[in-house]
Structures are given as structure tokens and as C-alpha cells.
Amino acid sequence: MAIDVEFLVVIAEMLSKDTFDDKLFEKLMRTRGAKAFLEQEGFLGRKVNVSDIKNEMIKLLQQEDYEDKFQFYRIKKNITRIRDDLEYLRKNRALILEKALEKVYKIVPEEMDVRTEICLYVGEYGGGFTINRNWVLINYGKYIGHKEEFVNILSHELYHSRVIPIRYKINFLFKSILKKRRDAYNLLGKIIEEGIACLIQHGAILNRDDLSGNLTRRNLSHSKEQFEILNRILLDMRYGKFDKNCLKKINVYSLGYLMVTTIYNEMGVLPLDSWTMNLDFRGIIMTFNKLCVEKNLPYGFYPEAIEWLR
């Protein structure tokens, strides 16, 4: 696995100059990081084109304290630090990957492969994302000067890049063939997927908030309210009146992390293998609900919300 840093190299060179350089900008837009940035913006429903980026870059160079909407200003404000980081990344790529994979394989069975390409970019939203389980994109603007946190977010995304046998992927799709179930399966699958990835990233106790803001101690404190919203959504799905706008109220990272760590702290990693290896979340949910009852926790699933998913 390689770590593509070309986007960071070029944008750092651009923003260290006093004037806008068209040739460097064209070079920047040809990098894989720029393509990743544009893809992420499109995924978030924002129409961004090259002219938008160019205009923001020009303002960023012309106005000393300007903070562009894409957050490229993070690079401008940390030119010296980003150069140091780039040198560290070049010299320690193997060590960084070794540390990240070590965290992954504390949870993922050794027989599962992790294969992907890694690319760094800068953007507004999130710490990273994975495309088709074979391309990891890390928003390095969130991790400048934070070497340990970079390893952590990389381990999170590498979990999403594990190689799952095709038969389990087909089985998951077959079980979710009905629309009502498909919506529920996609939601619950994402919650468990992100929960295990957050366990790998942060460990079983969240001592520090995620620098991306996706998982914080504050949003974990609202778990009861989050489960109430999730239960209402699942019931609506069951009876065919699902409002997709409700999904915006759900934090899949905090819900997933709470579910996964509740199980992990009581029973270890083995119950999580049903999702990691087979994409079967039902045992994890039932185990979590059982623990909620036994420990008298103030949250959990309504029986009628998940019974139809068996």
C-alpha cells in the first residue's frame, strides 16, 4: 500500500507563494487528491466545479485572514508544519501502515486481507472515507501536526477496506431485497460498520473526541435520544412510511460505537466477527439488547422495531 501525498505537496507549494500560479493550480486539479475532494463534495450534494475552487484559492492568496469554504486555509496557516508532516510521511510510510494495521488486526481476524490505495486531500467535511472498499481518502486538513490521530483515522478507514468474500456480500443483498428491509439493513449495517471502525480507531473508551467531530463525548451523552429516534425510524420503515429526512438526525458513529463497545467490553471481539466477516448484524443487535436488559441501561431497541428483521 502506498500513501499518495501529491495533493498536499502541490497545494502547500501554491499557498506558500504571494500570487496565484495557474500552472500549479492545473497540476493540483490533476492529482488524485483533487479528484477525491470533488467526489466527496458531490457525495455531500454540493455542486462544486474547478472555477469555484480557483476563485477560493485566489481569495485565499489575496486576503491575509480569508477562510475559504473548502478549508484550504488550514494548509496556508500551517505551511511549516505541513512540510514537516510531509517529510515524516515520506520517511515513515511503512511504520505508519504497520501501526494502523496493528490496530485493525486487534479486531479483524488475521485471515482477512486489507487491500487498498491511500490518498490524502484537504476538504471541509469529515476525517476520511472509503470508496468501494479499495480506495481510502483521508482529509489531512483535520490532522495536521497530529501524527497519532492520523494513524487512528487511517486504521478506521482500513477496516472499511477489508476483503469480504463475495458470497457474504450477495447474501446481504439477498436478505435486503424488499425495499422496507433494504432501508433498514443499509442503516443498521452502516451503524455496526462505523461502530467497529470507531472501536478500532479510538479503543473501547473514548478518551479524546475525534478531530473530525464525527464521534465526541458530547454526542455519546445523547445516546438515549438517539436510540429513540432510531427506533421510530425502524418502525416507520416496517410500516412503509419512512421519511428519509429523519436520517439526518442520526449519528451512526455514536450509535455504532456505543453498541459495539457495550458488547466488546463484556464479551470481547468474537461477537463482532459476525459482521466483520459475514455482514450479519442481527446477532450483534440481539446481543446488545440482551446486555441492555441485563445491565438496566436506559437505551436499546424496541422489540417490535427489530423483530421483523430476523
**47-72 burial, b for 16+ CB within 10 Å, e for fewer?**
ebeeeebbebbeebbeeeeeebebbb
- 119 strand-pairing partners: 4, 137
User: Does the pLDDT of residue 35 top 70, yes or no?
Assistant: yes
Residues 6+ apart with CB under 8 A from 259: 191, 192, 195, 284, 285, 288
Q: Provide the mean pLDDT of the chain.
A: 91
User: Does the pLDDT of residue 197 top 80, yes or no?
Assistant: yes
Question: What is the model's pLDDT at position 182?
Answer: 84
Share of the chain above pLDDT 90, in %: 70
Residues 6+ apart with CB under 8 A from 113: 162, 163
User: Does the pLDDT of residue 170 top 90, yes or no?
Assistant: no
* Span 124-150, average pLDDT: 87
User: Does the pLDDT of residue 285 top 70, yes or no?
Assistant: yes
Intra-chain end-to-end CA distance of the chain, in Å: 39
Taking the CA atoms of residue 107, residue 110, residue 111 and residue 114 in that order, the dihedral angle to the nearest 10 degrees is 70
- Extents of the domains making up the chain: 3-160, 167-309
Give the pairing of strands 128-131 and 135-139: antiparallel
Question: What is the model's pLDDT at position 33?
Answer: 87
Q: pLDDT by residue (tens digit) across 36-49?
A: 778 777 777 777 88
Question: What is the model's pLDDT at position 64?
Answer: 87
* Span 114-135, average pLDDT: 84
pTM of the complete model: 0.92
Band (pLDDT 50/70/90 cuts) for residue 225 is very high
Q: Where are the alpha helices (DSSP H) in the chain?
A: 6-15, 22-29, 32-43, 50-62, 73-77, 79-91, 93-104, 147-160, 166-175, 179-202, 217-220, 223-238, 252-267, 273-278, 282-294, 303-306
DSSP state of 22: H
Rounded to whole angstroms, the Cα distance separating 190 from 215 reads 15
User: Does the pLDDT of residue 215 top 80, yes or no?
Assistant: yes
Question: What is the model's pLDDT at position 142?
Answer: 92
Rounded to whole angstroms, the Cα distance separating 157 from 116 reads 10
Contact between residue 77 and residue 10 where contact means Cβ atoms under 8 Å apart: no
Share of the chain above pLDDT 70, in %: 98
Q: pLDDT by residue (tens digit) across 63-102?
A: 988 999 889 999 999 999 999 999 999 999 999 999 999 9
Question: What is the model's pLDDT at position 179?
Answer: 67
